[in-house]
Amino acid sequence: MPAGVLARVALRDLDRLPRLDLADGTLRGRGDDLNAGFAASADTVTELTAAGRCLTHGRRDRDEIALTFDDGPLPPYTGQILDILDSYQVKATFFCVGLLVDAYPEIVDEIRRRGHELGNHTWSHPFLPELSRAELGEQVQRTGEALAGATGTAPPTLFRPPYGGRSPQVLTGLAEMGMTTVLWDALGWDWALPGVDRIVESVSTGTGPGSVVLLHDGGGDRSQTVAALPEILDGLLARGLRFVTVDHLLATSRPAQARPAAPHPVEAR
* Residue 15 burial (10 A CB sphere; 0-12, 13-18, 19+): exposed
Structure confidence at residue 262 (pLDDT): 36
State the DSSP H helix or E strand holding residue 65, giving kind and residue range, or none if neither: strand 64-72
Whichever domain contains 222, its CATH number is: 3.20.20.370
- Which of 24, 70, 109, 190 does the annotation list as catalytic? 70
Residue 19: inside a domain? no
Residue 268: inside a domain? no
Number of domains in the chain: 1
Residue 56: inside a domain? yes
Q: Which residues of 97-127 are buried (b: 16+ CB within 10 A; e: fewer)?
A: bbebbbebbebbbbbbeeebbbbbbbbebbb
Structure confidence at residue 6 (pLDDT): 47
- Which of 57, 116, 125, 216 does the annotation list as catalytic? 216
The fraction of the chain above a pLDDT of 90, given in percent, is 81
Q: What are phi and psi of 155, to 5 degrees?
A: -60, 140
State the DSSP H helix or E strand holding residue 198, giving kind and residue range, or none if neither: helix 196-206
Q: Which domain holds residue 233?
A: 32-252
On average, the pLDDT of the chain sits at 90
Residue 265: inside a domain? no
pLDDT over 80 (residue 259): no
Residue 266: inside a domain? no
Indicate if 70 belongs to the active site: yes
Residue 184: inside a domain? yes
Q: Determine the average pLDDT of the residues in 149-168.
A: 98
pLDDT band, residue 258 (cuts 50/70/90): very low
pLDDT band, residue 17 (cuts 50/70/90): low
Residue 263: inside a domain? no
Instruction: Please report, as a single letter, which amino acid is at residue 105.
Output: P
Structure confidence at residue 212 (pLDDT): 98
Q: Determine the average pLDDT of the residues in 74-92.
A: 98
Chain center to CA of 96:
9
Indicate if 121 belongs to the active site: no
State pLDDT tens for residues 44-63. Answer: 999 999 999 999 999 999 99
Residue 128: inside a domain? yes
